[in-house]
Structure 1
């Protein structure tokens, strides 16, 4: 199983200046390669390299490996764009969003990540330093730090390329490691159903509810602050808005990590699997009013699902995905489906058998039962192949 470990670099001011110049040069070269690929229609690595490889080396002072990685990064970006277009992720043909994405060359930010292979970057794990290529020459004995457990994994299981990244004035290396996966539990004792929502971020069929009220209040305050800063439209207001957006993303990520860790630990401890709703395309399918759309789209349900999935793979816990249709209207006891079974947001009252329970808890029971039937019918684990930052 491949994971990505982020280690923090500790450069001196002179070293940071060289890293910044290198990142800017690589991304300027990538923008040139992207413009050439867009205007000529040549977006394959070998063909594009034959045309601009020498030019990138001479004009931006890139080394041989750096120039090749710049071209490969550009081609990979166009490959990803084409895949998103085919999958419908950018909307329908001729839509504004799709036309905006495909009607101009892909651009790279000055501080966008740049890949490094073992010819450009070497690790001295025993000294916690790296030797890295820059446009100003080879930089040696550049110190780094990180979580002790992750650094041990890095020393033992690092594989492949690493990415140089600048974020909020700090420098990082994203290194790929390959950790062995434990065998998946072949005979789970049932499935924990997980219902995702707004009032309760996640409700499990074991009775645990992760309330979303404090989070929703914080998000509403954040949105109010963003609106006020947008009205001011000053340089300091824009800077503060950017910092606030980063704070929101970090808070969301932290909460999703904690929720997913608890769910997977419970499933592993009790010998059960995890059943999740297949929420792909939920934003396109949902028919909501504008305030409701803001609330729905502001929480990273996909991120929470992916965190559960990759933590489950690490723990050997099977995961299955079930249809989300009518999970909030189906009775977990008699399986009667009726829109009137849910008279209020938090209440489920079956009009057939009279069963009454919290609506989210009932939905989680339904999801867990559907997960069991998916497993019994032979679908097996549906965990997607993921590469995530640890």
Structure 2
């Protein structure tokens, strides 16, 4: 059975907090220059990488470092290094699908590492590199975010200019808790379009159990369709006033779905933590390429934030020490959790499941969630099977591999 466990080589878990910078007008101009110069440098490196078909960090550094510093005025040494790393990252996962060189937006977010910034936590200021020299800028945020910045190790940060406000999104390293054994099995979560999430316990999410104004899945679909019709109407109108409204509405639907996915993942993780269970979700990687949908349904399918909910559930489970696995999604909605019969005839309608073998009936999404939970438990047991050495099978296999050959006879 195919199963993917949530694993990390880090000693801690990443977390991101957002700080609001309050620069003076002169400091704001310096930060704007830093953003422009960094993105210009990244675009120069990207075009060179595309021309030479060179995409790894080391080879790209040898190829582009001196050229980009010569072409972009005011670019510092470490800023050039970060620009090269950004380009390598941009091509890392989507190189095969790109038809032209990647162009970085002039005002896009710019990453800062420890060599480009330094902190004075007592004074609540951060010193940031700019082409004209360092600027020391005060920052503010929520009390819990300020406490995290003061007490946790700080990693990289992204400098962002958004609607007249300077933000710094800072990566922190949280201590990683020990993963608890799922003594009471797994909660399976089936994701879909008609229902965002249905758990093996029978919960349909979102629901009135979650905070916020969203009443349910039908309400979500209604809001998304309304936003779509509004965007089409304004885009067709094309007047300056319509464009202003589009700018004001930009990102509203994305923020709504992000908030919903946060609420759903938080609810599932809290239930698993409370009941001593693990969490199992379907491995939906590549689902958009495999799934076939009517042309009127493609926009809905391709705009659905399935991967985001998986990622939110994963990191929340890691923080809580809850077991998390991804399972094979094949036939989860056509298999009977009672007798194991797998047949397309078990689905007489989209929302109905009636087993042709034993007669078990229920909602198709709930049946799928039960199958996901069972696969999660079986996969976890196989991965953590005890051995005479006293090590779980996954660790035993990892430690029994022979060392890599270093050459020679």
Query: Considering the TM-score relative to the shorter chain, is it more than 0.5?
Result: yes
Which runs of no fewer than 5 residues in structure 1 stay unpaired? 86-97, 383-390
Counterpart pick for 1:189 among 163, 169, 184: 184
Alpha-carbon distance, 1:306 to partner:
0.8
1:24 is the counterpart of 2:19: no
Tell which deviates more after alignment, 236-245 or 262-271: 236-245
Q: Judging changes above 3 Å, is the alpha-carbon distance between structure 1 residues 51 and 128 closer, same or farther for their aligned structure 2 residues? A: same
- What is the CA–CA distance in structure 1 between the aligned matches of 2:170 and 2:143, rounded to whole Å? 15
**Contact 1:29–1:60 (CA under 8 A) maintained in structure 2:** no
Distance (Å, rounded) in 2 between the aligned partners of 1:341 and 1:287: 20
Q: CA deviation at 1:69?
A: 1.9
The aligned residue for residue 325 of structure 1 is 330
Structure 1, residues 304-339: CA drift from partner, whole Å, max 9, x if none? Answer: 011111100111111122221222122222222232
Deviation at 1:78, TM superposition (A): 3.2
* Distance in structure 2 (CA, Å) of the matches to 1:40 and 1:298: 34
Pick from 262, 268, 293 the counterpart of residue 257 of structure 1: 262
Change (3 A) 1:225 1:57: same
Cα RMSD (Å): 2.3
Q: Which runs of 5+ in 2 are unaligned?
A: 1-12, 206-215, 386-391, 395-409
**Taking structure 1 as reference, are residues 335 and 108 closer, same or farther at Cα in structure 2, changes over 3 Å only?**
same
Once residues 366 and 32 of structure 1 are traced to their aligned partners in structure 2, the CA distance between those partners, rounded to angstroms, is 50
Label 1:114 to 1:43 Cα distance change in 2 as closer, same or farther (>3 A). Answer: same
Alpha carbons 1:158, 1:175 under 8 Å: kept: no
User: Measured at CA, do residues 358 and 54 of structure 1 come closer, stay the same or move farther in structure 2, by a change above 3 Å?
Assistant: closer
Please state how far the C-alpha of 1:288 moved relative to its aligned partner: 1.2
Out of 224, 233, 250, the residue aligned to residue 238 of structure 2 is 233
Q: Secondary structure at the match of 2:75?
A: coil
Residue 131 of structure 1 pairs with residue 144 of structure 2: no
Residues 165-176 of structure 1 aligned to structure 2 (within 5 Å): 165-176=160-171
Alpha-carbon spacing, 1:354–1:80, altered in 2? closer, same or farther (3 Å):
closer
8 Å contact from structure 1 (residues 61, 135) kept in 2: yes
Q: Report the TM-score when normalising by structure 1.
A: 0.86
* Alpha-carbon distance between aligned partners in 1 of 2:58 and 2:354, rounded to the nearest angstrom: 63
Residue 76 of structure 1: aligned partner = 89
Number of positions where the alignment pairs a residue of Structure 1 with one of Structure 2: 364
What is the match of residue 95 of structure 1? none
Seen in structure 2, the aligned counterparts of structure 1 residues 353 and 72 have a Cα distance that, compared at 3 Å, is closer
Choose between structure 1 and 2: higher helix proportion.
1
> Are the counterparts in 1 of residues 182 and 278 from structure 2 also a CA contact under 8 Å?
no
Q: Structure 2 matches for 1:1-390, cutoff 5 A? A: 1-46=13-58, 48-50=60-62, 52-54=64-66, 56-57=68-69, 59-82=72-95, 85=96, 98=97, 101=98, 103-140=99-136, 142-210=137-205, 211-378=216-383
